[in-house]
Amino acid sequence: MTQAFDAKHFVRHLTHKPGVYRMYDEAGDVIYVGKAKDLKKRVSSYFRKNVDRDKTRVLVNQICNMDVTVTNTEAEALILENAFIKKYRPRYNVLLRDDKSYPYIIMTDHQHPRLGFHRGARRVKGEYFGPFPNGAAVRESLRLMQKLFPIRQCEDSYYRARSRPCLQYQLKRCLAPCVNVCTDAEYDEQVGLAKDFLKGKNQEVIDRLVTRMETASEQLDFEKAARYRDQIVALRRVQERNSVSGNQQELDVIGIARGNGLFTVQMLFIRENHIQGSRSYFPKVPADTSDDEVLRSFLLQFYLSDTAGRKVPKEIILPADVEIDLPLAQAMTEALGQTVKLNNRVRGERKQYQQLAQKNADNALSSRLNQQGTMNRRTSALQQVLDFGTPIQRMECFDISHTMGQQTVASCVVFDQNGPRKADYRRYNITGITPGDDYAAMAKALAKRYDKARELGNIPDILFIDGGKGQLAQAENYFADWGRDAPMLIGVAKGESRKPGLETLILAGSHETLPLDKDAAALHLIQHIRDESHRFAITGHRMKRAKAKRTSTLEQIEGVGAKRRQKILQNLGGLQEVKNASIDQLANIPGISRAMAEKVYYAFHDE
């Protein structure tokens, strides 16, 4: 498979911040999710020349696209990685695919509940918190909890055998309920605080402790007040909790960024206390359009134009510096048939989500601007190499894909100065030719694409043909009578051993070759376009081949639907037995008449 993913370009413009990266194959499926303390360093390690692990080499060969979600800390990236793995279940994250293997924190259902580590089936009665990405994360959390809340973490057998307080009591990490040093009410109070903390209600826990500290102080119980004070101090030290999980069941958070004529809208989707996904949008924005107007148009189009299958949350967090459009909120409420709250003045956990969305919007905008800058430089370089008189506006590339001449598909991809124009991509099913005749397939594909192109006015400036002189000749013959309307034709022949950088570029007419250095920007652009056309053709061919494999010969017989086909196959044991069956055997199948049996029989036996 030709590698279409430009790893060097992607890595060059990555941030050094922590985050999560996702790798996609040519079908658009997530094949791997990973987290990184430094996204640029981690992702670049996959594309080194010498990679030790076979698994990594196989994985890299299947990458057709990647994206990243920036986080505040590595811990956030770790939890977000777990959420994405649960959602996408990538085949290269096999060690984390089984939910039963995830570790949890459990608060047992005893008179004096125990806080502990749990993995496996949930047979123990109690409340479970998690899942966590790995056991180390649970143990680290338990150590933190032991410092914050004096709740027992010992096993039940140890708890029942105690006759005096253990060392944990001396360290002020347990209230020693095993020997009744504390009252049940005091212990239950700490259990309640610990549960709320594990649910993400940090500020509520601190507020309750402050109230208790003040009450104890007023009652002159200074020792008790000091204990509450120490708890508050410890909790405030961990107040900077991660922003990718919390107590928000359903929430959409929007961040926006603009610069150099581009506008980015970043969406974070919070579902079931976790970020379930993120996505960047780049709407086309007329000049001198305010942020408020752009955001209003986006909200209307995103939530109201196509709501089928989309669950709209009750609250949408907007950027802090935009104005809330109350009529818009009311219109969305009426149109969706549910209450929708637009909010931009937020605190605590919501504020962290808002800031995280803004960070991702800024990162997405920076990446897109860098990508556009690279495309502009490469297009300018190609224009200079070809001595093209006017700026190149549109480039197209054709490729043919088939297996032993079967399910032939032609692809046409389109690029402009900003990169791929995927809305203009086209695939053409090629029939009526000698199987395996790539020249005839190319001629048919060109006719399908350009027979009405002059009427529509969408003629490219440059047309690349993936192939040698034979394929290029088909394009030359087709455009022979076009005159000045014809695009510039360039053949892209594969080099020795099909290695990138060794391609031969053939100019139409003279058939002269165009020499370019391996590191030439113009060659990189041509490789990108050629690889994209190859990827698009292969994807279409594989889809067509898979459909052909799923289609039974019986489906092509008039009057044999899905139910009759299933009944025939079940009664005879398979398609081969159906082919060998007599008319009488077919007629004996329940629901198959004599006439239908004859039709099926002759469908397999007539020449």
- Please give the structure tokens belonging to residue 257: 């960024």
Q: Which of 71, 367, 397 is nearest to 242 (CA)?
A: 71
Most confident of 53-67, 335-349, 389-403: 389-403
Do 33 and 22 meet the contact criterion of CB atoms below 8 Å apart? yes
Q: Which CATH number fits domain 553-605: 1.20.120.1200, 1.25.40.10, 1.10.150.20, 3.30.1280.10?
A: 1.10.150.20
| DSSP per position, 373-430 | HHHHHHHHHHHHHTT-SS----EEEEEEEEETTEEEEEEEEEEETTEE-GGG-EEEE-
CATH architecture of 7-97: 3-Layer(aba) Sandwich (3.40)
Specify the residue for token string 């196959």: 569
- For residues 438 and 413, is the Cβ–Cβ distance under 8 A? no
Position 446: which residue type?
A: L
Please give the pLDDT value at position 357. Answer: 93
Put simply, whether the predicted model's pTM sits higher than 0.75 gets the answer no
Q: Note whether 439 and 470 are within 8 A (CB).
A: yes
Question: What are the pLDDT digits (tens) for 469-515?
Answer: 889 999 999 999 998 889 999 999 876 655 665 778 899 988 888 88
pLDDT given for residue 393 in this prediction: 92
- The CATH number of the structural domain formed by 250-365 is 3.30.420.340
Sheet holding 126-129, edge to edge: 115-119, 103-108, 126-129
> Cβ neighbours of residue 307 under 8 Å, at least 6 residues apart?
336
In the chain, CATH 1.10.150.20 sits at: 553-605
User: DSSP assignment of 479-529, as one string?
Assistant: TTT-GGGSPEEEEEE--GGG-TT--EEEETTT--B----TT-HHHHHHHHH
Tens of pLDDT, residues 48-69: 877 777 778 888 888 999 999 9
Determine the Cα–Cα distance for residues 463 and 453; give it in Å rounded to an integer. 13
CATH classification code of 395-541: 3.30.420.340
- Tell me how far CA of residue 171 lies from CA of 27, 164, 176, 190, 564, in angstroms: 57, 14, 11, 16, 76
Write the pLDDT tens digit of every residue in 234-274. 766 655 444 445 555 678 999 999 988 888 999 888 865 66
Retrieve residue 490's tokens.
Answer: 């360039």
AA identity, residue 441: A
Task: Read off the tokens for 247.
Answer: 């107590």
Give the tens place of pLDDT for each residue, 94-130. 443 344 455 788 889 888 999 888 887 777 888 887 6
Residues of each domain in the chain carrying CATH 3.40.1440.10: 7-97
| Percentage above 70 pLDDT, the chain | 87
DSSP state of 46: G
The answer to whether the beta carbons of residues 312 and 338 sit under 8 Å apart is yes
Q: What is the mean pLDDT of residues 278-293?
A: 79
For residue 132, give the nearest of 54, 179, 75, 190 by alpha carbon: 75
Domain with CATH 3.30.420.340 in the chain: 250-365, 395-541
- The token duo for 371 is 């990508």
- The predicted model gives 173-195 an average pLDDT of 89
Task: List, in sequence order, the alpha helices (H) in 114-221.
Answer: 135-148, 156-161, 167-170, 184-198, 202-218
pLDDT of residue 287: 64
CA distances from 278 to 80, 82, 202, 274 (A): 11, 14, 25, 11
The separation between the first and the last C-alpha atoms of the chain, rounded to the nearest angstrom, is 39
Please state, in angstroms and rounded to a whole number, the distance separating the CA atoms of residues 367 and 382: 23
Alpha-carbon Rg for the chain, nearest whole angstrom, is 32
Distance CA 544, CA 406 (A): 10
For 268-295, give the DSSP string: EEEETTEEEEEEEE-----TT--HHHHH
Beta-strand relationship, 341-343 and 315-317: parallel
CB 130 within 8 A of CB 138: yes
